[in-house]
């Protein structure tokens, strides 16, 4: 091998190595960062365009934008801006994060952020469940940017595809630039499709695993609200899983959950047609922002879970 | 390799053993109190300087041969296990159970600092201490506080080299056997360790019997402990002051916020006049007692 080709080879090797090095370019679209307490009840950090570098993980991005104390070799967040995990009032509290409204199976140090992602850290009581698989407070995510930097197909499934709530939800998504298909309720959900199920709960319940989880309570679904056996009353729970408020006819619910290995399913539902219509009207970014789930009573939003001592 | 004490004509050897030990411990404490690279470099100069000026340079060099690979291992492992730092220099992707590995400049820097600290602790707390502190004298003085503890420590200190020599003899004997390899393999090493461990128990029984015969179990032996009352020499005073000075500098710097170091998320190691003065002070305070060489031939 001549000296020149050896030099060329070395340059190629250097280029290959350096290709995997460095901070990289920042994502083209902004990455949002939110930090809240008590299931989104109090905002600590709200950044539309957080400081981020191309190779950032969720953890590194948080490090860039907040004062963070970590444990276990930097893999676990203990404290953000002075709000620490541990025990509060005898209850376990810690920091949890959601990327585009979806809980991750991996740690924050193992997940890359992508352009357009919304990262939400929340400090809350996990005595009832440490797993809340999906939340609605990052809307229009995950519909707009999907998961892991990959957009997902979206389908709006309705109890009555011609009814107003169904059209309202589908049009809202399309206005946001989400190409959403509309159909009647399906019994063969595709695992890779984001589904929005619209209609009274009586029509939606028992149709799939996610609906069964919602009926089973927050331990199974991560949603701190449940309908009664007849589906005519909606019980909003507090952070300890205790009934905090019972809503009657005309009440709605917007909630998201996820079964293992499947994409999140959103429910825009209610105790009856009027409740589902109220939920469809609340299917809006400004109403859903920073909420784990949302109940609607008399067209007024009710925070879910209804944290003790806080206004709805 | 265990460095052995040998009385040399140096100010540190001329100081009484507890003072020399306190001096080495003060160096170790200072190393553990600092993370700032400038302070650690100053302490490295102080430790190496003390070793050379005390005539223990070779002992330190031998210890360094074992300590440097250990320090390098720490420096290399840290960036692989720590998920901190903002400046990614190498992305290794998903590595099995370790998960996603991003090597950051901050983790590399802190790994190097941890490695340097480990190296300095081993040099100051191991080689320098062993080469310049007469263990017998320390134990003799310690006997006044607790005779039984001193006796246990003295026996342990004496038995370690004896067991080491046993192991060497067994290894030599193994090599004399026909078809034996020049170096023992893992199985043969285990056999030697087992033989030495068994021998240690036998020796312990022999020592216990001998001590009993010599009357160590009687209270009179305890009461008869000889008290050493020597006036403090200039070297005792100098090294005691140096040890106190080192600890005072380290604690003072920590309390006053001089030479602070932040490893993550970004490496912050401010270098200003205060840090430079501190580094110089550490070197001077550590090495000044060596300037007076009067009476080193004790």
Q: Which of A57, A73, A75 sits opposite B102 (nearest CB)?
A: A57
Q: Does A63 touch chain B (CB under 8 A)?
A: yes
Specify whether the CB–CB gap between A271 and A229 falls below 8 A: no
Find, among A190, A196, A179, the residue nearest to A283 by Cα.
A196
Q: Which helix (H) or strand (E) holds A168?
A: helix A164-175
Chain B: residue whose CA lies nearest to A25: B88
For residue B121, pLDDT beyond 90: yes
Mutation target vs B (from A51, A55, A105; most B CBs, 10 A cutoff): A55
Sheet holding A252-257, edge to edge: A180-184, A154-158, A194-200, A265-270, A252-257, A293-297, A300-304
Instruction: Please provide the size of chain A in residues.
Output: 312
Between the alpha carbon of residue B219 and those of residues A301, B148, B205, B210, the distances in Å are 84, 11, 21, 17
CA distance B98 to chain A (A): 10
Chain B residues close to A113, C-beta within 8 Å:
none
Chain A residues close to B83, C-beta within 8 Å:
57, 59, 70, 73-75, 107, 109
Whether A55 sits inside 8 A of B84 (CB atoms) is: no
Chain A: residue whose CA lies nearest to B79: A73
Chain A residues close to B82, C-beta within 8 Å:
73-74
SS3 category, A97? strand
CA distance A292 to chain B (A): 28
Section B113-129 average pLDDT: 95
Whether B90 sits inside 8 A of A75 (CB atoms) is: no
CA distance B5 to chain A (A): 40
Can you give the pLDDT at residue A13?
A: 46
Find, among A250, A251, A219, the residue nearest to A236 by Cα.
A251
- CB burial readout B234-248, b (16+ within 10 A) else e: ebbebbbbbbebbbe
pLDDT in tens, chain A (312 residues): 445 555 445 544 444 444 444 445 556 678 999 999 999 999 999 999 999 987 789 999 999 999 999 988 888 999 999 999 999 989 999 999 999 999 988 889 889 999 999 999 999 999 999 999 999 999 999 999 999 899 999 999 999 998 899 999 999 999 999 999 889 987 666 678 999 999 999 999 998 899 999 999 999 999 999 999 999 999 999 999 999 999 999 999 999 999 988 899 999 999 999 999 999 999 999 999 999 999 999 889 999 999 876 655
- List all residues 6 or more positions away from B83 whose beta carbon is below 8 Å from its beta carbon: A57, A59, A70, A73, A74, A75, A107, A109, B102
| Tokens linked to A94 | 């810690």
String of DSSP letters for A198-209: EEEHHHHTTSSH
Mutation target vs A (from B86, B90, B107; most A CBs, 10 A cutoff): B86
What are the pLDDT digits (tens) for B230-240? 789 999 999 99
The percent of residues in chain B predicted with pLDDT above 70, rounded, is 94
What does R_g of chain A's alpha carbons equal in angstroms?
21
Whether A21 sits inside 8 A of B90 (CB atoms) is: yes
Chain A: residue whose CA lies nearest to B83: A74
Whether A74 sits inside 8 A of B100 (CB atoms) is: no
Cα–Cα distance measured from residue B116 to residue A289, given in angstroms and rounded to the nearest whole number? 49
Contacts 24+ apart (CB under 8 A), A174-181: A176/A140, A176/A143, A176/A144, A177/A144, A178/A140, A178/A143, A178/A144, A178/A154, A179/A154, A180/A143, A180/A154, A180/A155, A180/A156, A181/A153, A181/A154, A181/A155, A181/A156
Between the alpha carbon of residue A235 and those of residues A270, A280, A289, B167, B242, the distances in Å are 11, 19, 22, 76, 73
Whether B265 sits inside 8 A of A64 (CB atoms) is: yes
Whether A63 sits inside 8 A of B86 (CB atoms) is: yes
Strands (DSSP E) contained in chain A are: 32-37, 42-47, 68-71, 76-80, 83-84, 86-88, 91-99, 102-103, 118-125, 154-158, 180-184, 194-200, 225-227, 234-237, 243-247, 252-257, 265-270, 293-297, 300-304
Between the alpha carbon of residue A168 and those of residues A173, A184, B277, B284, the distances in Å are 9, 15, 71, 79
Chain A residues close to B94, C-beta within 8 Å:
110
CA distance A71 to chain B (A): 10
Given CA atoms A146, A147, A153, A159 in this order, what sign does their dihedral have? negative
| Tokens linked to A192 | 């890779």
Q: Which of A55, A63, A110 sits opposite B99 (nearest CB)?
A: A110
- List all residues 6 or more positions away from A25 whose beta carbon is below 8 Å from its beta carbon: A54
Find, among A256, A61, A238, the residue nearest to B102 by Cα.
A61
For residue B158, pLDDT beyond 80: no
For residue B297, pLDDT beyond 80: no
Chain B residues close to A75, C-beta within 8 Å:
83, 99
What are the pLDDT digits (tens) for B245-267? 999 999 999 999 999 999 999 99
Q: Does A53 touch chain B (CB under 8 A)?
A: yes
Whether B83 sits inside 8 A of A106 (CB atoms) is: no
Q: Which helix (H) or strand (E) holds B103?
A: strand B100-104
Cα–Cα distance measured from residue A212 to residue B42, given in angstroms and rounded to the nearest whole number? 67
Chain B residues close to A70, C-beta within 8 Å:
83-84, 264
Can you give the pLDDT at residue A4?
A: 54
Whether B91 sits inside 8 A of A75 (CB atoms) is: no
CA distance A19 to chain B (A): 9
Number of neighbours of residue A9 by Cβ within 10 angstroms? 11
Cα–Cα distance measured from residue A81 to residue A66, given in angstroms and rounded to the nearest whole number? 6
Q: Which of A20, A53, A74 sits opposite B83 (nearest CB)?
A: A74
| Tokens linked to B19 | 């003072």
Section B262-286 average pLDDT: 95
Cα–Cα distance measured from residue A56 to residue A99, given in angstroms and rounded to the nearest whole number? 13
Given CA atoms B26, B31, B32, B33 in this order, what sign does their dihedral have? positive
Can you give the pLDDT at residue B227?
A: 54
Whether B100 sits inside 8 A of A53 (CB atoms) is: no
Chain B: residue whose CA lies nearest to A72: B82
**pTM score of the predicted model:** 0.74
Reduced 3-state DSSP string for A212-276: HHHHHCHHHHCCCEEECCCCCCEEEECCCCCEEEEECCCCEEEEEECCCCCCCEEEEEECCHHHH
Can you give the pLDDT at residue A19?
A: 42
Chain B residues close to A110, C-beta within 8 Å:
94, 99-100
Whether B265 sits inside 8 A of A24 (CB atoms) is: no
What are the pLDDT digits (tens) for B38-91? 999 999 999 999 999 999 999 999 999 999 999 999 999 999 988 889 999 998
Find, among B157, B162, B154, the residue nearest to B196 by Cα.
B162
Given CA atoms B174, B184, B59, B250 in this order, what sign does their dihedral have? negative
Can you give the pLDDT at residue A21?
A: 43
Question: With bands split at pLDDT 50, 70 and 90, how would you rate the model's confidence at B92?
Answer: confident
Whether B100 sits inside 8 A of A109 (CB atoms) is: yes
Chain B residues close to A59, C-beta within 8 Å:
83
Number of neighbours of residue B36 by Cβ within 10 angstroms? 22
Whether A55 sits inside 8 A of B264 (CB atoms) is: no
Specify whether the CB–CB gap between A66 and A35 falls below 8 A: yes
Find, among A297, A301, A290, the residue nearest to A39 by Cα.
A290
Specify whether the CB–CB gap between A224 and A238 falls below 8 A: yes
| Tokens linked to A118 | 């919304």
Instruction: Please provide the size of chain B in residues.
Output: 298
What are the pLDDT digits (tens) for B17-48? 999 999 999 999 999 999 999 999 999 999 99
Number of neighbours of residue A33 by Cβ within 10 angstroms? 26
Chain A residues close to B90, C-beta within 8 Å:
20-21
Find, among A160, A162, A118, the residue nearest to A143 by Cα.
A118
Section B179-200 average pLDDT: 81
């Amino acid at each position: 091998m001549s000296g020149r080709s050896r030099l060329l080879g070395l340059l190629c090797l250097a280029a290959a190595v350096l290709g995997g090095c460095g901070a990289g370019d920042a994502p083209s679209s902004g990455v949002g960062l939110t930090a809240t307490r008590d299931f989104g009840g109090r905002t600590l950090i709200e950044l539309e365009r957080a400081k981020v570098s191309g190779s950032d993980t969720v953890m590194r991005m948080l490090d860039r934008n907040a004062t963070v104390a970590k444990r276990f070799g930097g893999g676990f967040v203990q404290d953000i801006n002075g709000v620490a995990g541990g025990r509060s009032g005898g209850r376990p509290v810690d920091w949890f994060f959601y990327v585009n409204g979806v809980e991750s199976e991996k740690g924050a140090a193992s997940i890359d952020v992508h352009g357009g992602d919304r990262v939400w850290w929340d400090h809350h009581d996990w005595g009832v469940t440490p797993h809340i698989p999906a939340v609605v407070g990052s809307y229009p995510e995950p519909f707009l940017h999907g998961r892991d930097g990959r957009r997902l197909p979206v389908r709006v499934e309705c109890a009555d595809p011609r009814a107003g709530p169904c059209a309202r939800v589908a049009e809202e998504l399309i206005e946001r630039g989400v190409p959403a298909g509309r159909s009647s309720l399906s019994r063969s959900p595709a695992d890779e499709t984001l589904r929005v199920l619209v209609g009274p709960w009586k029509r939606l319940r028992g149709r799939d695993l996610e609906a069964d989880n919602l009926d089973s309570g927050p331990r199974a679904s991560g949603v701190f609200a449940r309908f009664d056996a007849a589906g005519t009353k909606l019980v909003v729970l507090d952070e300890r899983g205790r009934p905090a408020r019972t809503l009657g006819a005309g009440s709605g619910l917007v909630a998201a959950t996820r079964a293992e290995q499947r994409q999140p399913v959103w429910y825009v539902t209610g105790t009856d047609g009027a409740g589902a219509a109220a939920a469809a009207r609340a299917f809006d970014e400004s109403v859903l922002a920073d909420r784990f789930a949302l109940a609607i009573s008399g067209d007024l939003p009710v925070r879910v879970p209804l944290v003790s001592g806080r206004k709805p | 390799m265990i460095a052995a004490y040998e009385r040399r004509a140096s100010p540190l050897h001329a100081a009484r053993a507890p003072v020399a030990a306190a001096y080495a411990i003060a160096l170790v404490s200072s190393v553990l109190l600092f993370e700032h690279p400038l302070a650690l470099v100053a302490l490295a100069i102080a430790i190496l300087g003390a070793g050379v000026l005390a005539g223990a340079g070779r002992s330190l060099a031998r210890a360094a041969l074992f300590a440097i690979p250990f320090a390098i291992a720490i420096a290399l492992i840290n960036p692989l296990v720590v998920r901190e730092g903002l400046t990614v220099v190498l992305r290794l992707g998903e590595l099995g159970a370790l998960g996603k590995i991003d090597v950051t400049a901050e983790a590399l820097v802190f790994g190097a600092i941890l490695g340097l600290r480990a190296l300095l602790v081993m040099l100051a707390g191991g080689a320098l201490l062993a080469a310049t502190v007469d263990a017998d004298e320390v134990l003799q003085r310690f006997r006044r506080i607790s005779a039984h503890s001193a006796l246990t420590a003295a026996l342990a200190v004496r038995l370690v080299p004896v067991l080491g020599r046993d192991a060497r003899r067994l290894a030599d004997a193994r090599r004399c056997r026909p078809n034996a390899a020049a170096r023992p393999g893992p199985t043969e090493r285990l056999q030697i360790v087992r033989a030495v461990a068994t021998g240690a128990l036998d020796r312990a029984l022999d020592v216990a019997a001998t001590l009993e015969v010599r009357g160590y179990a009687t209270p009179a032996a305890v009461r008869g402990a000889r008290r050493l009352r020597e006036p403090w020499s200039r070297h005792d005073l100098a090294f005691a002051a140096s040890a106190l000075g080192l600890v005072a500098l380290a604690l003072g710097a920590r309390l006053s916020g001089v030479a602070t170091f932040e490893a993550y998320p970004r490496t912050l190691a401010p270098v200003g006049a205060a840090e430079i003065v501190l580094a110089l002070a550490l070197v001077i305070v550590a090495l000044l007692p060596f300037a007076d060489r009067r009476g080193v031939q004790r």
